[in-house]
Structure 1
């Protein structure tokens, strides 16, 4: 079993809060991670498990074992029960671990019942830094879902197609998405085609015969299901016109490549959009790495109307980092100089040019590096 780097942060949260919500996409490893901590496990999507929890509630809440509630948003009534149990003994921490694959639904129920009692943390699919070196080379192509090919290569891309079909036909409708599965499937393919581009809801809506308001509401569901990242623009008072639309990225590169019919690395490298795929992949690894170590950060991109751009801006409050992603094995000094000029515009305290160069050069605050070198600097 792959050791998840989020484990230490999860334990820290449990030691400081009565309840913790562990959220993330289906099949990313939430249940496996939760069960390594031990406790009484209940899958609340199953009616029989809800009945079992109901019958065992009094004994469980007076006992010492942690209570693990999987897909907690599927049974909203449980949140009031959790609140009551917490309020009877506010000094006990780590009593409840709630798992969820729909961020908005879980957040809505939690805000009604568990405000001030719940800490939320996100688990991603397996990240580059969590894998053995022998498996890292195929991570960009296959993505990070444990069963999706990164641990069993023959599963890719069939597993991804089956995963998305299940999400489209069962999960999203159950979570409240009003679109027919055929429409949702077309939307997913269109979003794959615009991966890494500025979001234009009107253009997507025209392709689907829908209003841009409707398309935006559908996108909210996909963001909440951890399929899509909507990266907002960084706004600064520079006396320049700035791009105001967000950029869209598929959060798992394996799902993206399956949708775009890319079965192997040779095919991937021959696609016109391969640079956007690499860009989105690096962005997800960076954000996930920081979150796994409990570092709070606001991610953005930066672009002016006259062509100055930074792929990822990380705002930590006290400092700001600029990260530019380039699909090349031989970045030039001109690439680094261009990043420096744009990073100066937003007052970035650190700047990193990330490529597939075999050798990383630079310091902790300014470097031209590969993904390994970037991960070392993030640590």
Structure 2
């Protein structure tokens, strides 16, 4: 069995949800994937008449067979069973209960939205990707891939592509379509699907398609909906944005499997493709489907579109991810000229979010050309992996860096420092200076900055000339926030040592002021020799910074008076 790229995502989601639903085309490998991912789970196929009858007639008894959960295949055949699954899942109250599969996305989606919304993760499994095809040792020649396609059974068992696709299509028309609509004229429907194949990669004109088929616009629309519901075709929507340009509004038509499209075009061998007029369209179909598989296999929404304006400026595929938009142009030829990059660069100028530009082509050499990557088809998966990996790396690093840089917090700190702290420090120096020069042999001033367990202190730490360096040393200019639970503290201390005046000796004097910055404001306190100076306590909200001054005159007066009292109250001469 071939390892599927979706397996790791499937196993991860099963640990997070009670149910995981895997949808996709018939024969895309859903059952094989689920059994391979969960070999110990019980299994039931609701395509089997006896199993389907049991589930319909006695749903509780049917589910009682699976006390430990299981894999229920083609669950859209018994949509009412999902309501009972909801009850069973809620009663169990644990994740990892049932894996559900289905091949009719609209019918199954309706049932899920009514019963299991919020309880199931959704995955879509398409036929093999190029990397998965390589694991089967099948040919990776472009024309071989366009001819044989990517259905697992064809590649695993080495089936003849034309015969296998013919059987697939006839079984689909006779059985699958008739489950969805009342189809009376099979030959006309077959003609409609073949005409769709002839429009691969083209803008959808439903009126023209209906007219060429010989049916009404309404019937053509209904039949197209059936093809979408059963994973035969999909529509790629155009890019929409306010670019002051007239953008095309019609979607483009593609097949989920390019090999089926080739069969419907009447291609019977890979050798026919080299000169076929639609080779370029089929190659484009292969690339678009490959990018879609890359996203879906990782449990991500495709988020793909194309760009075309009314003047004919076009980009085949815009690939949106968290890291920006990748612009991908597709050329089937093995040789690329410089003018092939013109439209990519013009679209890049129009859409500012484009971060990667690549031209996927039929050659073999990887090159960097005119601000674009020239990527051979066999390296497309690597390019997509790199785009996703770069995004994952940046997200991983960001998650472990903590908070994003908080410019607002730094600006608030700077405002407090300039309007209150620096002026208050100048006031403290002015008040202490006369005593220092006349009554003490030594004076020492020290600044302190504390945040959590980090602390810096030095004589000039809170000088204006060193402020930027102080912030950098404590990472106060990047990735910090002001919080009440872990406030930022700035302190200024002025110490007077060795009293020389009369009526001594006097004790040394230590004067300090501290600013504690929280989330909404700061609080200033002051002490002399460990005793609070209540008159200098103040609380200021950041919103009041422009209206509240540092009250420097009061600060100078109170400090001077406090020093006088400390000297006067000192020990008497013995």
Band the TM-score falls in, shorter-chain normalisation: over 0.9
SS at match of 1:349: strand
CA offset digits 1:54-89 (Å, max 9, x no partner): 47535435x22x311111011112111100101102
CA offset digits 1:13-49 (Å, max 9, x no partner): 1111110110011111111111111211111122211
Distance of aligned partners of 1:154 and 1:84 in 2 relative to their CA distance in 1, 3 Å threshold: closer
Deviation of the 1:9 alpha carbon = 0.9
Q: Give distance in 2, aligned partners of 1:205 and 1:51.
A: 39
SS at match of 2:282: helix
TM-score by length of 2: 0.63
Out of 332, 356, 366, the residue aligned to residue 350 of structure 1 is 356
Compare CA radii of gyration and give the structure with the larger one.
2
Q: Give distance in 1, aligned partners of 2:109 and 2:288.
A: 25
CA offset digits 1:237-275 (Å, max 9, x no partner): 222211110000111111011111112222011111110
User: Number of residues paired by the alignment?
Assistant: 374
Partner of 1:275: 280
Partner of 1:326: 331
CA offset digits 1:277-307 (Å, max 9, x no partner): 1001011011101221233341111101111
Q: Give distance in 1, aligned partners of 2:302 and 2:79.
A: 30
Task: Say whether the 8 Å CA contact 2:133–2:150 is kept in structure 1.
Answer: no
Partner of 1:132: 134
Task: Say whether the 8 Å CA contact 1:144–1:252 is kept in structure 2.
Answer: yes
Give the superposed CA RMSD. Answer: 1.9
Distance of aligned partners of 1:244 and 1:177 in 2 relative to their CA distance in 1, 3 Å threshold: farther
Question: Which portions of structure 1, spanning 4 or more consecutive aligned residues, are displaced by more than 4 angstroms?
Answer: 51-56
1:307 paired with 2:312, answer yes
Partner of 2:296: 291
Distance of aligned partners of 1:109 and 1:212 in 2 relative to their CA distance in 1, 3 Å threshold: same
Distance of aligned partners of 1:317 and 1:212 in 2 relative to their CA distance in 1, 3 Å threshold: farther
Task: Say whether the 8 Å CA contact 1:351–1:366 is kept in structure 2.
Answer: yes
1:85 paired with 2:88, answer yes
Task: Say whether the 8 Å CA contact 1:42–1:50 is kept in structure 2.
Answer: no
Partner of 1:214: 219
1:246 paired with 2:251, answer yes
Partner of 1:161: 166
- In structure 2, list runs of 5 or more residues that go unmatched: 386-574
Partner of 1:375: 381
SS at match of 1:229: strand
Partner of 2:34: 34
SS at match of 1:226: coil
Partner of 1:15: 15
Q: Give distance in 2, aligned partners of 1:297 and 1:171.
A: 26
Q: Give distance in 2, aligned partners of 1:314 and 1:300.
A: 7
Distance of aligned partners of 1:302 and 1:69 in 2 relative to their CA distance in 1, 3 Å threshold: same
Q: Give distance in 2, aligned partners of 1:20 and 1:368.
A: 38
Partner of 2:427: none
Which of structures 1 and 2 has the larger relative contact order (alpha carbons within 8 angstroms, sep 6+)?
A: 1
Partner of 2:190: 185
SS at match of 1:323: strand
Partner of 1:360: 366
Q: Give distance in 2, aligned partners of 1:295 and 1:183.
A: 37
Out of 247, 267, 270, the residue aligned to residue 262 of structure 1 is 267
- In structure 1, list runs of 5 or more residues that go unmatched: none
TM-score by length of 1: 0.93
